[in-house]
Chain A
Amino acid sequence: MKEILLGNEAVARGAFEAGVKVVSSYPGTPSTEITESIAQYERIYCEWATNEKVAAEVAVGASIRGARAMTCMKHVGLNVAADPFFTSSYVGVNGGLVFVAADDPGMHSSQNEQDSRNYARAAKVPMIEPSDSQECKDFLKTAYEISEKYDTPVVLRLHTRVSHSRSVVELGEPRDIVLRPYVKDIDKYVMMPGMAVKRHVIVENRMVRLAEDSSRNPDTIGLHSIKMASDKLGIITAGAAFQYVSEALPDASVLKLGMIWPLPVSLIRDFASRVDRLVIIEELDPFLETEIRAAGIACEGKALFTLQGEYSAQMIRAKLSDIPNPLSAIPQDNLPVSPGRPPVLCSGCPHKGLFLALSRLRVQVAGDIGCYTLGALPPTSAMDACVCMGASIGMAHGFDKATDGQDSLRTVAVIGDSTFLHSGITNVINAVYNQSNITILILDNSITGMTGHQQNPSTGLDIRLRAAPAINLEALVLSLGVSSVQAVDPVDTHLCQQVIKEELLKKGVSVIIARRPCALIPSGKGKKEDRTVVNKDNCKACGLCYKMMCPALTEGPDMKPIIDREACNSCGLCRNLCRYGALTKGGRKE
């Protein structure tokens, strides 16, 4: 049977067909839908873990105990999981173990453009790269066979155009879930120096054996494919770049790599000897190129193509083909300029009110990863720094200590509920222990928002939306030793300003919890009868309501606001801002 599946859905299907039993992940674009789709296969245990390190450790444990296990994350998630990842390479597996890492060339939704392939080389772990949904499913199944045959974790490397493209997939029969027998074996599973020294030898031998087998069995172990056509030009490529190459250079000879680490050097050497010119086409780092050159094989690569962003057929055609690129039917030169459309905090987002308060107070804001990073952009422009998950609190503490406590009077850390539970807690402990005076704002919107609404330990539901214990954030931070905790409604900008001012002046670590559900989840949806209406008689056309830049509220020809009733989410932020009572609830008349 054929279905059209997102690359990520195909990975989930592959896990089902491979008999995977345990999946633990933390959401992150573009990897999130893998684990979301896993949830539809009832026989697989799956969970949202608190962070990628925890998720990886759960998968390692399940593997040692004999189950096939998987953990999925975005590229920067692998940084968080790097500790268990590197040593799981030494431990090896019992049940097959796969790490899925999804890169984001072009940074559609990421803070950096790192190339996960470097991790495979550094940790001495084989890495496999599919180029469409069918391969996502098939390659994952092979990854489990390789994992168990060579006693190694395997990385499945995805990227945005593979994860988020739908294509046709031929479904297969699922394998039974089988638990391999577990035997206590401290030489293999307890990594103390004496044992690890011996395991390191095994790891190096394993990688040599894999490289040889990948060359010797290009179709099966290596997952490579070779198309010999022109002897003038040969291309080595993998993943999405293979699709652009096929589009742009139909006449070139192509070696498409499936297992991209360790490299099948003899296969590559043989391919190189059959073409006059060898070009490596790979997005991001010159990973293949560097290794191929190091093997003494002449090739071109980054001299022709960029280190940044996504590639395209156009880009490849321009460098390597005589066929001209197509031209637009509509010449763009004389058209009006299109104003940009940057992402914004949604219409009805209650946390916009809090950012308005921060903007008015002109405080320094150490930010974090999530929807609220958008608070850095106009109209609020209320953020000074944003680096990685959980960093806001540590950075605010750093501001405080760098200025001998001066900056704690005008610096706040802003962090979401999911991000706080991911890696903010240890930062609070550090700030309390080291006697900081910082103020921490936890924006609790009762969901993991930016990645598309996943549950987390504070929401009271698990990944399958069944009841789960909910962490009480107030009790948690009090137990960590913070000196003051207050909750506020972020829609009430005036109150937010007042409370933030109060807490900034207090000694010790203060926490303010701004609590209102995301406007896009059922509990955050406003009532239709509460939608805002304009009372034109009261309106003085002062323009204050435009300052919050709500997409549902625009300026009319008489300078008085017009409410788009379809877009209004009844949050009440504009009503709170208006001093003249010109914006009120619509009542039941509509």
Chain B
Amino acid sequence: MTSNTNINISSTGNAASDLSDLKLNIVLAGVGGQGTLVAGKLLGTVALKLGLDVKVSEVHGMSQRGGSVITYVRIGSKVFSPIIEKGTADFCLAFEELEALRWSGLLKTGGTMIINSQKIRPLPVLMGKAEYPQNIKSALETAAPPSTRIVEINALATALDAGSSRAVNMVMLGALSYFTEVSIDLWEEAVMEVFEKKAKLIPLNLQAFHFGRDLMR
């Protein structure tokens, strides 16, 4: 169903016979305040528009205060558990380097990890009680089998180019979109729907989404 490069969900995907056993697991790992919740909501909207079942599991409360935050998105013909198990993620979108390292065990063989090169130093590092690991991307590449793809982008710089540091989530989704066959129109509709109540933010977020997608070309 899934190959290294592309995921066969298309906007006309309903008709495809192989959708019946489709399971797509996407992990969004980041730091509280980076917009992973909105990104998860947007992926849920995309799945709904494709006529697929979907579960998005979020963590609220304590974890939002700058803690490590993980959102699971599971898409398929029928989804039961809202949680993604170790070794089963098709995609891992790491909004921060250290979080890429922390959640790397979730990735499956043949999966794709997109890392935002941004570094947010956690408290133990700020206090000098721990070191922020160096060369995370190459450590992951060394450990990963060849079929597993690891891409690093500077989503923060790209988001700032689009107009706001808060659009990192849209840059990450834009990058993800490159690996799917979901039509651009459908992605754009989903962005507009998610920001329906904050309409003036739509152009900026669409811009960030496209910038993110362009990074993958």
Which A residues are within 8 Å of any B CB, using their own CB?
2-4, 6, 29-30, 32-33, 108-109, 132, 160-161, 164-168, 240, 243-244, 246-247, 312-314, 325-332, 334-347, 371, 374, 377-379, 450-452, 546, 549, 551, 554, 566
* One of B8-16, B78-86, B173-181, B201-209 at the interface: B78-86
The reply to whether B65 and A346 form a contact with Cβ atoms under 8 Å apart is yes
In the bound complex, residues from chain A placing their C-beta under 8 Å from that of B121 are 551, 554
A179 CB to closest chain B CB (Å) equals 32
* Structural contact, A329 and B59, CB atoms closer than 8 A: no
Contact assessment for A161 and B83 in the assembled complex, using a CB-CB cutoff below 8 Å = yes
Chain B, interface SS category: mixed
User: When the two chains form their complex, are residues A108 and B57 in contact, meaning their CB atoms are under 8 A apart?
Assistant: no
- CB < 8 Å: which of B32, B44, B107, B131 contacts A343? B32
**Distance in Å: Cβ of B129 to nearest Cβ of chain A:** 8
State in angstroms the CA–CA spacing of A257 and B129 once bound together.
Answer: 48
- A interface footprint on B60-76 (CB within 8 Å = 1, 0 otherwise): 11111111100000000
Report the nearest B residue to A449, measured CB to CB: B65
Query: Is the CB–CB distance between B80 and A168 below 8 Å?
Result: no
Are B83 and A344 closer than 8 Å at their CB atoms?
no
Residues 133-191 of B at the A interface (beta carbon under 8 Å): 133-134, 136, 139-140, 143-145, 148, 165
Given contacts A314-B86, A338-B101, A342-B123, contact A330 B143 (CB under 8 A): yes
The answer to whether B93 has its CB under 8 Å from any CB of chain A is no
Residues of A within 8 A of B67 (CB): 341-344
Can you list 21 A-B pairs with a CB-CB distance of less than 8 A? Answer: A6-B58, A30-B61, A108-B59, A108-B62, A164-B57, A166-B57, A166-B58, A167-B79, A243-B80, A313-B80, A329-B109, A335-B143, A338-B98, A340-B122, A341-B31, A341-B122, A343-B32, A343-B66, A371-B65, A450-B62, A549-B126
Chain B residues with CB under 8 A of A371? 65
Distance in angstroms between the alpha carbons of A327 and B120 in the assembled complex: 29
Chain B interface category by residue count: 35 or more
| Complex: chain A residue closest to B122, CB-CB | A341
Q: Counting CB contacts under 8 A, is B212 at the interface?
A: no
Verify B61–A330 contact, CB threshold 8 A. no
Question: In whole angstroms, what is the CA distance A4 to B43 when docked?
Answer: 11
- Complex Cα distance A330/B143, Å? 6
Pair A330/B80 contact, Cβ less than 8 Å: no
Q: Which of A168, A347, A546 has the largest count of B CB atoms less than 10 A from its CB?
A: A168
Min C-beta distance of A136 to chain B, whole Å: 13
On whether the beta carbons of B85 and A339 are closer than 8 Å, the reply is: no
| Least Cβ–Cβ distance between B139 and chain A, in angstroms | 6
Report the minimal beta-carbon distance from A518 to chain B, rounded to whole angstroms. Answer: 11
CB distance from A13 to the nearest CB of B (A): 15
B104 touches A451 (CB 8 A): no
Residues of B within 8 A of A378 (CB): 123, 127
Contact of A339 among B44, B130, B139 (CB under 8 A): B130
Is A551 touching B104 in the complex (CB atoms < 8 A)? no
- The distance in angstroms between the C-alpha atoms of A3 and B98, with both chains bound, is 34
Q: Would you call B65 and A326 a contact (CB within 8 A)?
A: no
A27 to chain B, nearest CB (A): 10
B61 touches A345 (CB 8 A): no
Residues of A contacting B64 in the complex (Cβ-Cβ under 8 angstroms): 343, 452
Q: Are B48 and A2 in contact (CB under 8 A)?
A: yes
With A326-B108, A335-B143, A566-B165 known to touch, is A549 a contact of B123 (CB < 8 Å)? yes
A313: B residues at CB distance < 8 A: 80-81, 83, 85
Residue in chain A with minimal CB distance to B101: A338
B112-129 vs A, CB cutoff 8 Å, 1 = contact: the mask equals: 000000001111111101
Q: Tell whether, in the assembled complex, residue B133 and residue A330 are in contact, meaning their CB atoms are under 8 Å apart.
A: no
Question: Which one of B55, B60, B126 contacts A109 once the chains associate, using CB atoms below 8 Å?
Answer: B60
Within 8 A of A (CB), among B1-39: 31-33
Knowing A166-B55, A334-B143, say if A343 contacts B86 (CB, 8 Å): no
